[in-house]
Amino acid sequence: MRRIPGQVYVPDARGRYRPYRSLWVREGRVAGLEPGAGRGEAILPGFHDAHVHIWKIGQLLTDLLDLREVDSLEALAGLLRERDRVLPPGAWLLGRGWNEARLGGVPNRAFLDSVVPGRPVLLTRTCAHIHALNSKALALAGIGPETPSPPGGEIRHEEGLLLERAYGLVERVLPRRTVEDYRRYILAGSRYLLARGVTSALEAGADPLLLEAYRSLDQEGLLPLRVSVLAILRPDGEEVLYPLPALHRSERLVVAGVKLFADGGLSGASAAVSRPYREVGGQGVLRLKAEEILELALPAHRKGFFVATHAIGDVAIREVLAAYARLYREEPRPLRHRIEHFGLPGPKELALARSLGIWVVPQPIFLKELRENFVRYLPEVFLPWCYNLRRMEEAGLSLAFSSDAPVVREVSPVQGALAASLPLTGRGLPLMRSLFYYTRPEASGLEALRLWPGQPADLVVFSENPFTHPEEARVVRVEVDGVAVFEG
């Protein structure tokens, strides 16, 4: 048995943190807690990121051009020319993370043609719902001025932009990823999360090849953190469905949920909203209506999968809630479905989500990193409701917080909790409440892990107390099953 002294903070079922002076670990599980105020390093339960793209974090760390810090079109041009010089002839130049609010403009087709005319270029916006292509890439994808936009997507040929499901038209001609590529990305992304105190996470969308990579890593005992994986039901640009995977549950891997997309992203003005966006106009893209959601979700629901549907705009949220209400009414099952993001719910939507008992999974860090986009594009009437976490809590919703990285640069739950106190209008959430919502793996079909006796010893050790000195608190050690997986 091993004693870990320090300032140990363990939340109860209501999210109230209680102090202990040490915890005891035996064979990877919490054997006991010693009451009283402790001294030294602060120890908390390992955090759960309830919506993150682990493999995409790893891909950005290894293979893609990371554009999230680029703050001008001139700087972007320099990065593209530099990457162009080192790539082999004919290779695609791929990048992700641009934000027109930071760049001062959109990297459209004319811009990309002027910078890199000789090879195909595809740059994904930070939200991953809008993609910028040069003429070479459009030609290879067979996209011309007369190409019709697919259902749930939009082609803007003159600008070289593909929105939502139109991305499928170019994805089919991109270099194919292999299982080994995915394994490499998963491991790189997992190490990145662990260094920030995240010991469990939900992989927010996986095709069959990515699922195979996760299963192989799990079978070989190589998954360094606990992961729940959402299986994608329908790929972009295709009307065919992937087959439902087998339900799976082990110590480190759970496959028990499926992913749907009802609309686009709010920061890029493609989420489905009831009033036109400012500056850019339009009301976003509604990818699925209630009837379609019901049709897609019903087979998964019947087989025991929880359904997690991306819905940000108020229009999309209403469609998803209507579908879930019918799902529970027509096929009663003890499954708690989810809405991912839940960006613009009004009073009726909050009440209905509460009555259905679903999980809602917002991203507090959006209030910091994407704030400029929200203020720029949203009509004034929407600002008091945009990711208003306090209103969600006061409505009695079941909340699980997340980062949605690599949509954002910051993955740290402490930084996310600080952002939760910064709503666009009104009051935010206190730090302690927000940090609790980063410790809810049960929202993802995983075991609840709070450092209670008998539970696995998944913990994060901070240099400073994150409740009193959040900006100075640095992750110095992370353990999973009582074994150190990060030390820094």
pLDDT 10s digits, 462-477 = 999 999 999 999 999 9
Q: What pLDDT is stored for residue 319 in this prediction?
A: 98
**Contact by Cβ (8 Å): 50, 443:** yes
Q: What pLDDT is stored for residue 219 in this prediction?
A: 98
Please give the C-alpha separations between residue 377 and each of 104, 187, 309, 346, 371, in angstroms, as whole numbers: 14, 37, 23, 18, 10
Per-residue pLDDT for 239 more than 80?
no
Q: What average pLDDT does the chain have?
A: 96
Tell which residue, 140, 105, 104, has the closest CA to residue 122. 140
Q: Do you find a cis peptide bond into 441, omega within 30 degrees of 0?
A: no
Q: Does 14 or 419 have the greater pLDDT score?
A: 419
Which residue in the block uniquely carries the two structure tokens 């019947």? 302
The set of residues, in sequence order, having a beta carbon less than 8 Å from that of 156 and lying 6+ positions away, is 162, 163
Per-residue pLDDT for 433 more than 80?
yes
Q: What pLDDT is stored for residue 38 in this prediction?
A: 83
Confidence of residue 21 (pLDDT cuts 50, 70, 90): very high
Per-residue pLDDT for 240 more than 90?
no
Which residue in the block uniquely carries the two structure tokens 């949509």? 407
Q: How far apart are CA 171 and CA 164, in angstroms?
A: 12
Q: CATH fold of 62-171, please?
A: Diaminopimelate Epimerase; Chain A, domain 1 (3.10.310)
Query: Could you tell me the end-to-end alpha-carbon distance of the chain, in angstroms, rounded to an integer?
Result: 24
Q: What pLDDT is stored for residue 237 in this prediction?
A: 66
Q: What pLDDT is stored for residue 163 in this prediction?
A: 94
**Contact by Cβ (8 Å): 202, 303:** no
What six digits make up the tokens of 291? 């009837």
Q: Burial, 246: exposed, middle or buried (Cβ in 10 Å; 0-12, 13-18, 19+)?
A: exposed
Place domain 50-55+177-444 in its CATH homologous superfamily: Metal-dependent hydrolases (3.20.20.140)
What six digits make up the tokens of 68? 């999230």
pLDDT 10s digits, 184-193 = 999 999 999 9
Q: Stretch 17-44: mean pLDDT, rounded?
A: 94
pLDDT 10s digits, 31-65 = 999 998 888 899 999 999 999 999 999 999 999 99
Pairing of strands 253-261, 226-232: parallel
Per-residue pLDDT for 424 more than 70?
yes
Q: Which CATH number fits domain 2-46+454-487: 2.30.40.10, 3.30.300.130, 3.40.50.300, 3.30.300.350?
A: 2.30.40.10
Confidence of residue 94 (pLDDT cuts 50, 70, 90): very high
**Contact by Cβ (8 Å): 289, 309:** no
Q: Burial, 283: exposed, middle or buried (Cβ in 10 Å; 0-12, 13-18, 19+)?
A: middle
Pairing of strands 153-156, 130-133: unpaired
Per-residue pLDDT for 152 more than 90?
no
Instruction: Name the percent of the chain lying above pLDDT 90.
Output: 95
Q: Where are the domains positioned within the chain?
A: 2-46+454-487, 50-55+177-444, 62-171
Pairing of strands 198-206, 47-52: parallel
Q: What pLDDT is stored for residue 236 in this prediction?
A: 74
Confidence of residue 118 (pLDDT cuts 50, 70, 90): very high
